[in-house]
Chain A
Amino acid sequence: MTPARRRTRSSAALRVLFAFAALIALTSVTAVVTHVVNTSAGLIAIRGGTESAATGDAAQVLASWTLLESMVYRSVIERDAVERFPDGTRIEFRSWLNPAFITGGYSADPTRTGVRGALIGSLWLIVIATIAAVPAGVGAAIYLQEFSAPHRLHRAMRESVHLLAGVPSVVFGLIGLVIFARLLGPLTSGAIFGVRATRVPTGRTIVSAGLTVALMTLPRIVIAAEQAIGAVAPRLRLAAFSVGATRWQVVRDHVLPQAGPEICAGAIFALTRAVGDAAAVIIVGASTVVLTDPSTPFAAFTALPVIAYQWAMRPDPSYRGLASAALLVLLLVVVVLNVAAGVVRLRARRTR
């Protein structure tokens, strides 16, 4: 066999392998979508919905349909419900995921509870993690790429960053508990700033959780930023140096503007991963039930994945619908962030 022929054969084998991998990826995407439309986040029939809200009695959930069924067979469902529950005038159809669910506060009644507190908690986490992790991560990447000479310590630093990116989030949760909640407790509980900790005596607050998420996100941001900075054309750097620029001037005026959009997109992707993670946040101290919305970073809090997890664990089938609805809200946040990252990247590519 000639070498050329062997190459074609091995490349054919590779192509099959890659096609197989792509098929698996496609299948998993389909599986996720199927699962989402088959969650019990669809319509529910409620007896005494609005009525009971006035009287204070708990409403009764009669039946629940999946998202797919609710979307496709709505008329069938309604007809079916009228047959199954003859006193149809008192039946109210509602989706688990509705505007009131997103903007509503906590209630012990599953038909009236909402995820506002958890949503605000998750947004707080994103903000704090962004403030803490992005400057540090980009700074580290700039140092590793532009300033540090490739000696042994440099390689050790780079390898450790990659190692960190693979550490499970539970471990980060424990680190966050020990360092941010316990060790820096006076700081993260807000006691030092004169904040009266009413319900949270320790540092198990949004700040602690946000910093833990930041820690978790940091290695991914460093890696993304390093790649973005490394992709800036070396000849651009040489040209800038050749008019007498210092390293910092080159970084500030050429490297960062060029790499900025990619860094931004990478950071958003990294944050997206972290914001969907429940384990670390639970360990640091997300509460099950938060009656008041977190208004300061020193408040007790919960987050979307946490509340979804809590609800999914309850025996009452109504809560399964709630858990699905909360997960859909989380997915929505994730999709919005990802689209934002994509837009940043695309616009940068177009202007270049």
Chain B
Amino acid sequence: MTQDVGVANERVDTLSTEELTVTYDDIPVVSDVTVGFARGEVTALIGPAGSGKTSVLRALNRLHDLTPIARVHGSVRLHGKDIYDADVDAFEIRRRVGMVFETPTPFPMSIYDNVAWGARMHGRPSELDAVVEHGLRRAGLWDEVKDKLRQSALRLSAGQQQRLCIARTIAIDPDVILMDEVTAPLDPISTGKVEDLILTLRPDYAIVLATHNVQQAGRLSDRVAFFLVDESRAGRLVEWADTDSVFFAPRDARTEAYISGRAGSDMSARGRTG
């Protein structure tokens, strides 16, 4: 971790974007996003469905590379280096920018192998047991699964599966963790556990959390980036600021409307129908 130089008042972004635009079949789904994420912070990406939160997330770890029709324009910098440069290995980027998805997607293997699979490719085999235990402990799952590490991960509850996915990401020792609606399919108790987990992870990672739950963004995030669909149906970054100022003193009227719950559904409907 080289990012300890971040001094109190001077944010040093671990990961940042500049004029990021993602297109599908040359049609932009999200345009001109300039935003930064620093270690020790949780940044919530909020906005109605279709406003481009997921598209932004996937641009941050080059996941769009796997979708042939998707193109990423602008720049995404990790520690100042553009991850879309020709000499950058996308697979290495994805190790340093881990991602957890909305639907818990444990691999159809044992609990141990779920955490070990990614770590095995990057670390030393002799330390694997320790890496797995560390990952599971940080994800708050160790006590629940330590006696059944060889059991299939598919037999865990949805909430446990999601924390396992987070453990798997921790085990590859990333700098940034992207979370795409990670609590959306979970019950309130599991959601609470995952939220607590995010707060315990905050000091060590730059966490980017896409959510359409405004309250959750308020509870967890240090900064908020608010996205909305514009007239051309592309998502746009409306406001990006400290959580407190977004919630209590939004600069944009649309932000205020969305935060207070007055216009969310209406706006998303407009976004879909164009």
**A contact set with B: CB distance below 8 Å:** 149-150, 233, 235-246, 249, 253-254, 257-258, 352
Contacts and interface: CB of A to CB of B under 8 A. Distances in A.
B165 A239 contact: yes
Contact of B103 (A235, A241, A254, A257): A235
A114 B92 CA distance: 63
Name B's interface SS.
helix
Contacts of B122: 244
Interface in B75-132: 91-92, 94-96, 98-101, 103, 105, 107-108, 117-118, 121-122
Contacts, number: 65
A191 to B, nearest CB: 48
Interface stretch (B61-69, B231-239, B264-272): B61-69
Nearest to A352: B108
A245 B108 CA distance: 16
A242 B108 contact: no
B17 interface: no
A244 B172 contact: yes
Contact of A242 (B68, B94, B171): B94
B169 A241 contact: no
B168 interface: yes
16 contacts: A149-B68, A233-B105, A237-B66, A239-B107, A241-B63, A241-B94, A242-B100, A243-B94, A243-B117, A243-B118, A243-B121, A244-B94, A244-B96, A244-B121, A253-B107, A257-B108
Given A239-B105, A244-B121, 9 more contacts: A236-B108, A238-B66, A239-B165, A242-B94, A243-B98, A243-B171, A244-B96, A244-B122, A245-B118
Interface extent on B, as a size class?
Answer: 20 to 34
B68 A243 contact: no
Contacts of B105: 233, 235-236, 238-239
Name A's interface SS.
helix
Nearest to A253: B117
Contacts of A233: 105
Contact of B92 (A150, A235, A244): A244
Contacts of B98: 242-243
A150 to B, nearest CB: 5
Given A244-B118, A244-B122, A239 B101 contact: yes
Contacts of B172: 243-244
Given A239-B165, A352-B108, A244 B95 contact: yes
A149 B91 CA distance: 18
Contact of B63 (A242, A245, A254, A258): A242
Nearest to A234: B66
A139 to B, nearest CB: 20
A239 B103 CA distance: 10
A236 B104 CA distance: 10
Contacts of A249: 121
